[in-house]
A and B are shown apart, each in its own frame.
Chain A
Amino acid sequence: QLQLQESGPGLVKPSETLSLTCTVSGGSISSSSYYWGWIRQPPGKGLEWIGSIYYSGSTYYNPSLKSRVTISVDTSKNQFSLKLSSVTAADTAVYYCACATVLPFSWGQGTLVTVSS
């Protein structure tokens, strides 16, 4: 049973970089079967896809966030990470990591990140 768990700071200052890690258990992050991705949900709002990475290292980013987003994989730790730079209050959200074959079938529980000074 594939499980994902997000971790990282719950509070980030404006203009700084948000950094989150997703630890994968019950499966290998190097598997050619999966995409790994990040999705966020601002309070009271809907889901927004941030970006995805394939086992080959190919990355795909939401055009509206592309200039600020980096997603990477650490195969030695079975983890993948999200970095979002120059954050503002609009980036306050619950951030989910997810695993997909086409679209997500397994999600982490989510972690709330608040952008505030």
Chain B
Amino acid sequence: QSVLTQPPSASGTPGQRVTISCSGSSSNIGSNYVYWYQQLPGTAPKLLIYRNNQRPSGVPDRFSGSKSGTSASLAISGLRSEDEADYYCAAWDDSLSGPWVFGGGTKLTVL
């Protein structure tokens, strides 16, 4: 049972915009930054978004993050086949659950 809640799956067609949600609580998302990771099949997770909406160098601006209250979202616009991957949200948690807590992951399928 993950501390952060994500939908298990999402899908879209090439060129579409897709969003993935992440729900938490006041001890994590509500009071700390949200990070997002992309995990391609058979590889380690890669940092996609940090501090709610910042992109590391090299991450396309098709990927964007937002946060409101105790929830966060990852948006992918102009969907491409290479975006098919698992996506995880994470946050610092001030309670005994933390300090690092993850979502259960969302498998994105590009139809």
Which positions in A face B, CB cutoff 8 Å?
37, 39, 46-49, 52, 60, 63, 96, 100, 102-110
Contact = CB atoms under 8 A, between A and B. Distances in A.
Nearest to A51: B100
B102 A49 contact: yes
B47 A105 contact: yes
B7 interface: no
Interface in B24-47: 32-33, 35, 37, 43-47
Interface of B: 2, 32-33, 35, 37, 43-47, 50-51, 56, 88, 90-92, 96-105
B87 to A, nearest CB: 11
Contacts of B56: 105
A95 to B, nearest CB: 11
24 contacts: A39-B100, A39-B102, A46-B104, A46-B105, A47-B45, A47-B102, A49-B100, A49-B101, A96-B45, A102-B32, A102-B35, A102-B51, A102-B92, A103-B50, A103-B92, A103-B100, A104-B35, A104-B45, A104-B47, A104-B90, A107-B44, A107-B46, A109-B43, A110-B44
Nearest to A110: B44
Contacts of B44: 96, 107-110
Contacts of B96: 63
B111 to A, nearest CB: 22
Contacts of A52: 99-100
Contact of A105 (B2, B50, B98, B104): B50
